[in-house]
A and B are shown apart, each in its own frame.
Chain A
Amino acid sequence: MSPYRTIIGLEVHVQLLTRTKLFCGCSTKFGLPPNSATCPVCAGLPGALPVMNRMAFELALKAAMALNCQIASLTKWDRKNYFYPDLPKNYQISQYDLPFSKAGWLQIECPGGAKKIGIIRAHLEEDAGKMLHDEQGGGRDSLVDLNRTGVPLLEIVSQPDLRAPEEAKAYLEEMRLLLREIEVSDCEMQEGSLRCDANVNIHIPISPSPVASSFSREPTASADRIQPHGTPSALAAGSRLNVESTGAEGETFAATPIVEIKNLNSFRGVERALKYEAERQFQEYQQKLGSVWNVDPRSARNFAGSTVIPVQEKRNGSLVMVAKATAGWNEKRGVTEIQRRKEEAADYRYFPEPDLVPILIDSLMLEKARAGLGELPAAQRNRLQTEYGLSPYDASVLSSQGRAVVAYFEQTAGLSGDPKETSNWISNEVLQTLNDRKQQIREFAIPPASLAGLIQEVKSSGLNKQRAREVFAEMANSDATVKAALAKLGYQVVSDESQLREIVRRAVAANPKAVADFKKGKVKAADAIKGAVMRETKGMANTELVQRLLAEELDAV
């Protein structure tokens, strides 16, 4: 049992699958020569004006719907002002106080069952360029590549609802699956089409509760207030959850200052970084508590039904909140490196973008987006369980492979009449083969009808699993049907009862020790005799028949 609980919120940026940029006609293709996909608009030349890419907005709408978000009927663009050389206009066109969507959720599968992770908001914005720092020249020259400038990004900010690094990873995997399935983003972390910043802190139980009541509460009216930009602090979310709080009855925790981890470039990295950071915060807490840090009950807040007291720092004789810090993840060393404390929030001087008109989202746009969604992974997993009787695990394995694999499963299961066996074959042999061959399911040599044929053959002829796998391999190699593969391998299942009984009798006679053990109650001892039968028949004996005959013969001894 961990001595603390981990509180995680993720801020995910995904690049939308448009051919052109958000506000100009330049290509969004990855890996083009530096600055080749640029124009006066994305290079921010004087007099150039942005024009919204409708396709980008449609994709973003689809994503927000799939994330169960509330869609605004009117949304607008805002300018976020800051000076940086990769941002030629020195402002980013983003969305501030009227994002096109908010208040959604994403369902993830956790060891304890399905869990809904809240989405605070999802909004559209343009990407910045890439700085290329000349390390050899002692950092004297820096170059900038504007190909990425203006590429459409969807920023999705989660509630601090994730309670473990594993959950954060599961959230990202589910997000990727979902956005790939609805063809909104290819979510390639290596190419930067999915980026993730993680906000994390830990809650350490302190007892007995130093406070029984009288902690500050935000009025419930603030429950719906949107946090413009950035993942809100766990404390802000705590106030959001006041409404559902049960008051001071729950446990009391001390909360460490939130750290935002940047530079996360793999799902595995996210998980590792969060694990490391949570542990680091616990150690820091233990070191500093009582000396540098204090837990003052007067600053207690409510967080999801429990009482949380953020640690404070003693400064000039009074206690002050510890500012949120930014950390980088050093993949090589496997450590987070604290970069700076955000003592003062950056002032982005947001204001409505006067070069773009507000967008009215009508029912036609919503219908179009909804029609493009299809069945989403969470619903699909449920259906696989109810309609085909699959276990949650099996349903999840299939679903995680995407719609094409699920469709393959459904066709095969329909023809084979045995969904469970079909699921086993696909989860093991089919996926393994695809993986080995780096193939997609649509390129796979065995059509659903043939795989269904093999499953039925196994069932009816009693072909054993090992031989069945060989038949499968033959089918995958030569596009053969089950019959052709069996013939080619020279496999003929022996189902002749008298012939098999003769073989079984010989085996019983040749294994007196096993028979004796069996008679003493060692049921397993029969396996040795069965093995002998299989050797004799080169594995082609009808498994079920052998089972029955062996039972009869052993009875008769």
Chain B
Amino acid sequence: MNELTAAELLAAQVQGASALEITAAFLRTIHERDGSLNAFLHVDDEFALAQARAVDAKRKHGDLLGILAGVPVAVKDILCVAGQKTTCGSKILRDFIPPYDAHVITRLKQADAILLGKTNMDEFAMGSSTENSGFTITRNPWDLERTPGGSSGGSAAAVAAGLAPLGIGTDTGGSIRQPAALCGIVGFKPTYGRVSRFGVIAFGSSLDQVGPLAHNVYDAALLLEAIAGHDARDSTSVDRPVPAYSRGLDQLVKPLTVGIPREFFSDGLDAEVENAVRVALAEYQSQGAVLKEISLPHSSFAVAVYYLVATAEASSNLARYDGVHFGHRAEKFADLLDMVARSRGEGFGAEVKRRVMLGTYALSSGYVDAYYLKALKVRRLIKDDFDTAFRQCDVIAGPTTPTAAFKLGEKTGDPLAMYLSDIYTIGANLAGLPGISVPCGFTKNGLPIGLQLMAAPFEEGKLLQVARMFERATDWHNRRPKVQAPG
């Protein structure tokens, strides 16, 4: 049961399977295998089973069912769920229970999906390996000594390992696509504004976007369809109709021009990854697509721009965790200032502190022009690069990550090396574009490799179709890791 895709689980229920047995099967798998992975932070069996029973009751009564009826979803612990712990991977929110649902959670409930539990993540989504979690380190199902990527590493690992058929992640600089690539699954980051951020604990507000993690493009399209759309509570959410992405997915995009940025195939790109991606591009060519070399001349500044913009916003977004109104408060303190300083000092991990300091510095008087404001200008240039590129091609293709999954601990001592693992994904966040990572091969060590495709804003439909063209011709997405129960 736990090997099935969302589409197969929906079909199985039409054939007589119950949401309850499906949910129970996934819960069982979680209890068997998650000891090896640590993908989940909290699993509430009773809550999940109650939802499943409710779906079965609805079906029995002949009520109209949502598009994800009875399909379990693993949700990154960055999305607020009313009455349930939402920690954002941080000790500072260890006991935080929000009084409201994130918009995405509301939509999942409306779609009759089953919320299995909350998955591990880098603290406040700051990281690329899930090693920055304040609670535990998540392991890659393909190799337990390696990282699943991050920051949505918990959701990606859960889907890859069959602990959940669908996962919800957030992507600020690649946090959905990078772990999807490293875990051999599909990860989709929608256009900025396509999915409401209401109830998503903010990291970099102008970059954050919620999106699906799934076994294949169809499942990702289905989940996107369920969560996308306008929400009056998020001013940056865009009021545009949501196409039925899952329908018409097999339509071929013809003619199709695939842009290949020459900057994505330079230093630092692993040879095995490059080879797999080039083979994938050849597949498009064999299906009649035109491959066109393009240039994104400012892409070399993307990482620098990102670490100024995202950290500046984060330094302000995270100011509210002061021990005054909610969250962790230090036990002993001298005065108000000391209370705030100690609460933050105890509650935040090293990477969060590093980024809050970096962002505070970038906004400080005397430095703001040279750092934050200059970064905004370069961000504009990066966006212009993409606009120019999309006048020449339908999608941009390249590797999702420079390497396959790296070893746990390999980059924790070198933040800059860690930051570079997002080098190809950051551009889409800075420009607000939709991007997808689909499995496109394996290294000789058996580690998955991801192909990244990006499209112009709100071209989600076309992007999914192009991704599906590749997926249909290949078998990479059907491979599953063998995860042993902890011995």
Partner-B contacts on A (CB < 8 A): 40, 43-52, 79, 81, 83, 85, 88-91, 142, 144, 345, 347, 349-351, 354-357
Contacts and interface: CB of A to CB of B under 8 A. Distances in A.
Given A85-B324, A85-B336, A88-B324, A47 B202 contact: yes
Interface string B338-372: 00100000000000000000001001110010001
A152 to B, nearest CB: 16
A90 B322 CA distance: 9
B363 A81 contact: yes
Nearest to A346: B365
Contacts of B365: 345, 347, 349
A349 B364 contact: yes
Listed from nearest, the 6 A-B pairs whose CB atoms lie closest are: A90-B319, A354-B205, A349-B363, A354-B206, A47-B199, A46-B201
Nearest to B326: A45
B98 interface: yes
A351 B80 contact: no
Interface of B: 79-80, 86, 88, 93, 96, 98-100, 102, 197-202, 204-206, 232-236, 312-313, 315-316, 319-320, 322, 324-326, 336-337, 340, 360, 363-365, 368, 372
Contact of A40 (B98, B234, B236, B319): B98
Please indicate which of the listed interface residues A48, A49, A81, A89 has the most CB atoms of chain B within 10 Å of its own CB: A49
B98 A47 contact: yes
B368 A349 contact: yes
Contacts of B93: 46
Contacts of B316: 79, 81, 90-91, 349, 351
Interface centre among A40, A46, A48, A83 (most CB of B within 10 A): A46
Nearest to A23: B235
A89 B102 contact: no
A46 B88 contact: yes
Contacts of B202: 46-47, 355
B236 A355 contact: yes
Contacts of A43: 325
B313 A354 contact: yes
Contacts of B206: 354
A90 B201 CA distance: 16
Contacts of B199: 47-48
Contacts of A356: 235-236
B98 A45 contact: yes
A218 to B, nearest CB: 20
B141 to A, nearest CB: 29
Contacts of B320: 44, 46, 88-90
A357 B340 contact: no
A85 B326 CA distance: 12
A47 B201 contact: yes
Given A46-B326, A49-B198, A91-B319, 4 more contacts: A45-B99, A81-B363, A85-B322, A349-B316
B221 to A, nearest CB: 26
Nearest to B193: A357
Nearest to B197: A49
22 contacts: A40-B100, A45-B99, A46-B86, A47-B80, A47-B102, A47-B200, A47-B201, A49-B198, A49-B234, A51-B235, A83-B337, A88-B320, A88-B325, A89-B320, A90-B322, A91-B316, A351-B363, A354-B204, A355-B205, A355-B234, A355-B235, A357-B235
B124 to A, nearest CB: 10
Contacts, number: 102
A51 B234 CA distance: 7
A91 to B, nearest CB: 5
Most buried by A among B100, B197, B324: B324
Nearest to B92: A46
Contacts of A144: 324
B418 to A, nearest CB: 24
B246 to A, nearest CB: 28
Contacts of B312: 351
Nearest to B206: A354
A117 to B, nearest CB: 30
Q: Which of A47, A79, A350 has the most CB of B within 10 A?
A: A47
A49 B233 contact: yes
A47 B234 CA distance: 10
A354 B234 CA distance: 11
Nearest to A357: B235
Nearest to A146: B325
A46 B123 CA distance: 14
A202 to B, nearest CB: 30
Interface centre among A48, A91, A144, A345 (most CB of B within 10 A): A48
Contacts of B88: 46
A83 B338 CA distance: 12
Contacts of A85: 322, 324, 336
Contacts of B79: 47
A56 to B, nearest CB: 14
Q: Which of B86, B88, B206, B233 is most buried by chain A, counting CB atoms within 10 A of its CB? A: B233
A89 B317 CA distance: 8
Contacts of B364: 347, 349
B236 to A, nearest CB: 6
Contacts of A46: 80, 86, 88, 93, 96, 98, 201-202, 320, 326
A349 B326 CA distance: 24
A349 B336 CA distance: 21
Nearest to A85: B324
Contacts of B100: 40, 45, 47-48
A38 to B, nearest CB: 10
A177 to B, nearest CB: 35
A91 B359 CA distance: 14
A450 B13 CA distance: 84
A349 B373 CA distance: 12
B235 A89 contact: no
A52 B235 contact: yes
Contacts of A350: 363
A22 to B, nearest CB: 12
A76 to B, nearest CB: 12
B322 A40 contact: no
Contacts of A354: 204-206, 236, 313
Contacts of A142: 336
Contacts of B236: 354-357
A52 B235 CA distance: 8
Contacts of A50: 235
Nearest to A142: B336
B232 A81 contact: no
A338 to B, nearest CB: 23
Contacts of B232: 51
Given A83-B319, A88-B325, A351-B316, A47 B363 contact: no
Nearest to A353: B205
A328 B234 CA distance: 40
Nearest to A347: B365
A345 B366 CA distance: 12
Contacts of A40: 98-100
Nearest to A46: B201
A243 to B, nearest CB: 27
Contacts of A349: 315-316, 360, 363-365, 368
A107 to B, nearest CB: 37
Contacts of B198: 47-49
A354 B80 CA distance: 20
Nearest to B101: A47
Nearest to B200: A47
A519 to B, nearest CB: 88
Contacts of A89: 319-320
Contacts of B363: 81, 349-351
A357 B432 CA distance: 14
B356 to A, nearest CB: 11
A301 B159 CA distance: 70
A89 B340 CA distance: 13
Contacts of B99: 40, 45
A241 to B, nearest CB: 27
A360 to B, nearest CB: 14
